Amino acid sequence: KIFNSIHSETEMMRYIHSLQLKDLGLDKSMISLGSCTMKLNSVSSLTPCSWPEVTSMHPFAPESQTAGYRELLESLERYLISCTGFDACSLQPTSGAAGEYAGLLVIRKYFESIGQSDRNICIIPRSAHGTNPASAAMCDMEIKW
């Protein structure tokens, strides 16, 4: 219906812009739930992720042409290991929900390794979004609100 009422490029651009203004973003407001990674990283720290030098590598590029990418990722892993004190780290998974799940799996395995597998309670605030209790449930944890 809406597209039949628009008869010029200018009208279409105005309509698209009006839709854009309805979207909630960090440039307009605080985002209380979801998009955790995006809320906690400043735009300036994410800028390099948009550089063509970073985004333009072909997924099937030969190993001889990916040395810089590998060094970038390996140095990030070393920094994370030094910050956390872990023996190793993984840069996967990359999403918040999958990362949350992976983190809870690590916690569960740690408690099992030290003989404290009965420590299985995950305290979650009522304001949490759905992935929090879902991840805890998938890790066979007891959820406390």
Q: Where are the beta strands (DSSP E) in 5-131?
A: 121-123
With beta carbons less than 8 A apart as the criterion, state whether 141 and 108 touch: yes
Q: What CA–CA distance (Å, rounded) separates 66 from 69?
A: 5
The one-letter amino acid code at 46 reads L
**Residue 2 scores a pLDDT above 70:** yes
pLDDT, tens digit, 9 for 90 and up, residues 74-101: 999 999 999 989 899 888 887 778 888 9
Average pLDDT, the chain: 85
Q: Band the pLDDT of 50: cuts 50, 70, 90.
A: confident
Q: Band the pLDDT of 38: cuts 50, 70, 90.
A: low
Identify the sign of the CA torsion 8, 24, 93, 76: positive
The closest alpha carbon to 72, from 91, 56, 50, 85, belongs to: 91
Token pair listed for 29 = 């407001």
Amino acid 97: pLDDT: 83
**Residue 112 scores a pLDDT above 90:** yes
Identify the sign of the CA torsion 68, 72, 78, 82: positive
Most confident stretch, 28-37, 63-72, 87-96: 63-72
